Structure 1
Amino acid sequence: MRLEALTVVLRPRSAWEAVELGTMLVRRHAGAIWRPWCLVTLPVLALLLALGGALGHPALAMLPMWWLKPLFDRIPLYVLSRAVFGEVPGWRETLGGAFRGGGRAMLGYLTWRRLSPARALLMPVDVLEGDPQGDAALRRSAVAGPAYGVAALALFTFLQFEFALSLGLAVSVLLFVPDAYVQSLAPVLWQNLREAPAWLQVLEAALAWVATSVIEPFYVGSGFGLYLNRRTEIEGWDIEIAFRRLRARLLQAGAAGVFVLSAVLLSGLPSPAQADGTRAPACTRPAAAADTLRTVFGRDYVADDGFAAAVDAAYASNELRPRRKVGVWKPRRASRSDDTLPPLFTWLTRLLGTAIEVLLWILVIALVVVAVATRRRWWPWLRSMAGGAPTPPDPAAERAVVADMPLPADIAAAARALRAAGQARDALALVYRAAVAAMAVATGQRLPPGTTEAQALRAARALPAGPQRAFGHVVRLWQHAAYADRPSDDATFEAMLDDAAAAFGWRR
């Protein structure tokens, strides 16, 4: 690993600083991430929508798109792993290298590890390092360490961002609807949400894809930042870089002195002797493909048994699998606890528990019987709450508006005649008109057209107590009949008519 080529400053960071570092890397290399992301995810979305449409439910495409997130996450992970060393890949290179290798590890991330809360933190261990499965498990445990909780919180946070973005995109449609049409549009929207037509399901899947495409690379970047921070803490990358820089400075400063010293030493050596003509036996070199380090370093490779032993000791160390032995004193003979109940009390408690259980079952059965017996009362209400077929409203009663006819000479007789003819509301309307006219004459007030009952009652406060009470009785019965469709009975009507006739002088 070329640590000197890193484009980020390595230092021990807090976990949330590491998350911010990862999101910053995503912003810096946004073009290199989102171009291949769209080139891969859009065709997959179109294919899944077509399959869902063939089944009659295009919205089914959202489930496999969500489940395949770990596979899509390899795109931003590949870009970030190269870009952090100063090699930003193009979209062709990303498409060719992002899905190369790591098939066995991806099988786990698409099955039993799919719901892992630390997926973004652990995927670099399997995808980028490519260790054998046994070592990868130890590496995952070591890398997760104290960062596991932060990785889980980061997942929860980015899920909230994704949900808020998808919901905001859906609600933003209402911003383009004029205010005058919002109220009339609400029933149409609710009906479409209940019926879920195909075009609405496709729109929902598209909005979910947009929200995922915006948020998911940042989530992968946050996990990659945590991964870099954990590698720095475990392996001391920042210290190694500092030593490499110090070595480079020392080599530059001492190059001249080393050259002079070498020239002096070589000048005192004797002339070289004739080389032996016999050829030394050739050593058998192992195949390069069988040794990764030999392939990488070539002639500079040096077999170091101590280093290999140190690696084996590191993997066998308890720091990868921390355990602690705790000693506890226990008596040789387990003493009987003082709070043990006598056999009689034990039997009583069991009896009480059985009785309570029986009573609870009786209560449940009684509730079921009552619910079945009263189903005619609550079942229609429950069906209406569940969204059954709406009951059509009663036809509106329409009546032509005619000009007010002059009041008859005998108000009481005319009102009784209308009530006898089955026109109770018209009878009360006649009495109310006559009472308002009499009140206006008695108080000397001029009431404007369209005067409400409340305004008439306020104007009637100038009447004496008797006429004021009679006028209030007339207004109350008229309101019950006009607005609540509750006409008064015959006795109440006659009592009101007698009081009003006596108060306003309708009797001859």
Structure 2
Amino acid sequence: MVRRWWKALYLMQALLFGAFGTFFYLLSSDLTVVALLLWWLKAVFETFHLQFLGRALFNEELSAWEILRHRRAILFHDLFAKLTWRRLNPFRNFLLPITELEELEGRAYQQRVKTLTRASRDHVFWVSAFGILAELLLTLNLLLIAYEFLPREITDRVDWNQLLFDETLANATAIALILSMMLVMPYYVATGFCVYINRRTWLEGWDIELTFRQLVLRLTNHSANASTAAGNPSQKTLSGVVALLFLISGLFHSPAANAEIESAATQMQMQMSPAPPASPRALQKTRDQIGEILEGPDYHRLEERRMLRPLIPNDGASGEAGVPPVFSWLTNFANWVARIAEILLWIGVAALLWVLIQLWPRFQHSWSTRTAARKAPPSVVIQSHEESPYAFPVEITEAAKQYWHTGQHRAALSLLYRGALAQLAAQLQLPLEGSHTEAESMEICRQHCPAEVNRYFQHLTDAWVRIAYGHQSVKQEEFELLTNDWAAFHAHASAAQR
């Protein structure tokens, strides 16, 4: 349906979101607030799409402008219910035709909902779940596409720690969310409406009823040109069609449809036949014969049901399942106790999971420190933070200076940092692994190394983190200080080894 009428649907979508979005932006210049308000009004916007699809599906030629002309009646119909208890209903797109197209309320609405959702609740729930997931994924994809179009000079200078709290990212996320809602909403409404139509078809034979109505209409229009002779073959064909309509209409349990088809068939016979109508006795006899045929076994649908039966029969004088009436209150009390115990059990499981989540970092830290002390000294070669490890040059500082002078500042600091890790692992036997982060490496160095070694390693790690992850430049003086202090760092590490 969306593929067939996508122009009208997305035109309405653009007009609705554009008008309300502009109005909300004039009230509050915060795009995040505008996106949240539009998200909450989705239940109202979906009504316009449903009104269009409900008319277009039954060949009523409409345009988006004709639907929007009735915007006041569509907008304010059940507005409070749409924005309150029905807004977060996961079956909203499936139940919307009941209130908007059938216009049922009260007990009739509840009975209709109970009938339609009896075998389709799971399908509708997963449709809503996939709709939410599609909006989230589409929002994320739009943000990633916008990021890919940014120049490299801008992305290299981005401070990700500050960007998370920046207004620019919030505005971009709000715009991406609005666009994703505009793209997904017609599909969400159409899928719910299709499930509704399918359910009505299974229950009431809508497709057969519509086909019969079209057939009756075509035969009625053709009656003016048909032959009026009593023995004409077209007259016999019409009689066969009328009998077929009578027979098949009994298969569907819709009294209104059967009465309508029977009335239409009788009118066609009267219009196309010049002879006087048959006597009431003959008509009654024909109807009796049709009723006998319909009551036969060929036109009865057998339905098999399986249910549980109590082992102890209930004779009516005793309570439920053979329990005496005196102890019936005890059965009810036991059921309530079982429900309360189940609720308390789930609360206990949730509390236990919460405690485990809170205590897991402590257990992990204590377990890692114990196992690290038992492990053998690691290899001298440390896994680098680049694509793959490679051997160190003889003079690490000279090689780092060459990288620095050629403009490869990141490679220079990477060489110093990996060389320092190799020194700590080889000389001081520190339990360093390739999976350790910079913060974990500094913590291990602080616990096991002298103050001079720890001070230099923290300074070097800080410079490496700024240039590697923060995309910040390191000054020439700071790099020269690191290379000049390298020899002292090596000497202190060797002295600590002895």
- TM-score normalised over the length of structure 1: 0.46
Which structure's relative contact order is higher, taking Cα pairs within 8 Å and 6+ residues apart? 1
Q: TM-score if structure 2 supplies the norm length?
A: 0.46
